[in-house]
């Protein structure tokens, strides 16, 4: 039986979106034709492209241009790209990546339907939601309905991991203290035993070493989230603004909520290990995400320079048989 469910994404990689959708339908959604809501910033998709996608793939694909802005209570000086003392910022997160911070607001606000920078109001009518990226690579046939598992689990993911690197560290600064303050404020005790032990022992590394969902292919039982204090938690996250100040990811922030309030841990489909899914295409475009506003022009120009550079390298390697 088909579920009251929809798929959504925030798209910026115009040159990859069609490829993503074709693989998604060819390897899974052709059987169900779940509606897809493609959100995007700025005017990057024209009517010709949208008509092409609807005609070639499905009329059940909807393009939704959404506004964006830094929340009024967050000072510009506090935004992540200004914290040049952080190695990751200094190396690869300039002001031109502000669009990614707007992306984090979009991804973590699961139920802020219709608000600036968030999911469109139309998604409010669905019980189940699936989040993908515009370079999510459905590379093999999936012969079952991914949404079925949400009858028994509040959250599921294409794959999970617990890799903790310097870059991950640099994008979770302050998260542990925020989380402990959240627990203390509302007098919550984590249901996950490992997280509970981490809190009891004040062991931040144990929190980092939890298994986290993929993010780029997550499924949410919104009905179950609403039975728990999700709205309250979402409000605390937005008030603090860690997604803008410290580039906190949705997989950690939503993950901590799930480990705190749900009896069951996220369901892991293991699609990556089974060779059915990958988090990105084997394409240079997957490592490129345009910015917003004025920085968009810079990023597009930067992309073509990168593509020219790599094509030149491949040519040289082939010519000299390196």
Residue 199 pLDDT > 60? yes
Edge-to-edge strand ranges of the sheet holding 5-10: 61-65, 36-40, 5-10, 128-132, 217-221, 155-157, 267-268
Q: Whole-angstrom Cα distance, residue 200 to residue 193?
A: 10
Structure tokens at 135: 């370079």
- The CA distance from 194 to 189, in Å, is 12
d(CA 297, CA 46): 17
Which CATH number belongs to the domain containing residue 275 in this structure? 3.90.550.10
* Average pLDDT of span 139-157: 98
Whether the predicted pLDDT of 72 surpasses 80: yes
Residue 138 has pLDDT above 70, yes or no: yes
**Residues of the chain by 3-state class (helix, strand, coil), percent to 5:** 50, 10, 40
Q: What is the 3-state secondary structure (H, E, C) of 77-109?
A: HHCHHHCCCCHHHHHHCCHHHHHHHHHHHHHHC
C-alpha 246/C-alpha 8 separation (Å) is 25
Residue 312 confidence class, pLDDT cut points 50, 70, 90: very low
Q: What is the pLDDT confidence band of residue 283, given thresholds at 50, 70 and 90? A: confident
CA distance 116 to 120: 9
**205-211: average pLDDT:** 97
* pLDDT level of residue 67 (50, 70, 90 thresholds): very high
What number of CA atoms fall less than 13 Å from residue 181's CA on the CB side? 8
Instruction: Select from 38, 219, 54, 201 the least CA-distant residue to 126.
Output: 219
Determine how β-strand 5-10 pairs with β-strand 128-132: parallel
Instruction: Kindly state the percentage of the chain with pLDDT values over 70.
Output: 89
- For residue range 227-243, list pLDDT tens digits in order: 999 999 999 999 999 99
**292 confidence band (pLDDT: 50, 70, 90):** confident
Q: State residue 208 phi and psi, 5-degree precision.
A: -60, -30
Number of domains present in the structure of the chain = 1
What would the two tokens of residue 167 be? 């870059």
Angle 223-67-74 from CA coordinates, rounded to 5°: 85
pLDDT of residue 287: 65
At 288, is the pLDDT very low, low, confident or very high (cuts 50, 70, 90)? Answer: low
pLDDT band for position 244 (50/70/90)? very high
- Side-chain half-sphere of 4: how many Cα atoms within 13 Å? 9
233 close to 141: Cβ distance less than 8 angstroms: no
Give the structural domain span for 298: 5-320
Task: Give the residue-averaged pLDDT of 164-178.
Answer: 97
């Amino acid at each position: 039986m088909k579920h009251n469910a929809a798929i959504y994404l925030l798209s910026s990689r115009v040159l990859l979106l069609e490829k993503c959708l074709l693989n998604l339908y060819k390897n899974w959604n052709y059987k169900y034709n779940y509606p897809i809501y493609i959100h995007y910033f700025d005017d990057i998709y024209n009517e010709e492209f949208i008509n092409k996608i609807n005609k070639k793939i499905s009329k059940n694909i909807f393009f939704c241009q959404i506004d964006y802005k830094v929340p009024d209570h967050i000072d510009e000086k506090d935004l992540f790209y200004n914290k040049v003392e952080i190695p990751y910022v200094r190396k690869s997160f300039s002001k031109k990546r502000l669009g990614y911070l707007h992306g984090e607001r979009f991804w973590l606000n699961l139920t802020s339907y219709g608000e600036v920078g968030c999911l469109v109001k139309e998604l409010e009518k669905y019980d189940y939601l699936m989040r993908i990226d515009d370079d999510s690579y459905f590379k093999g046939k999936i012969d079952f309905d991914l949404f079925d598992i949400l009858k028994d689990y509040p959250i599921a993911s294409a794959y999970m991991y617990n890799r903790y690197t310097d870059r991950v560290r640099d994008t979770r600064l302050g998260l542990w203290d925020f989380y402990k303050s959240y627990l203390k404020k509302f007098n919550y005790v984590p249901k996950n035993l490992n997280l509970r032990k981490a809190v009891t022992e004040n062991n931040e590394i144990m929190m980092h070493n939890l298994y986290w969902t993929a993010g780029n292919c997550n499924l949410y039982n919104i009905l179950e989230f609403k039975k728990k204090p999700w709205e309250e938690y979402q409000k605390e996250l937005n008030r603090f603004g860690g997604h803008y100040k410290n580039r906190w990811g949705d997989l950690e922030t939503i993950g901590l909520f799930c480990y705190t309030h749900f009896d069951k841990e996220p369901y892991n489909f293991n699609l990556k290990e089974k060779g059915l899914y990958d988090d990105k295409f084997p394409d240079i475009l997957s490592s490129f995400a345009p910015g917003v506003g004025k920085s968009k022009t810079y990023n597009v120009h930067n992309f073509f320079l990168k593509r020219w550079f790599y094509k030149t390298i491949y040519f040289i390697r082939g010519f000299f048989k390196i």
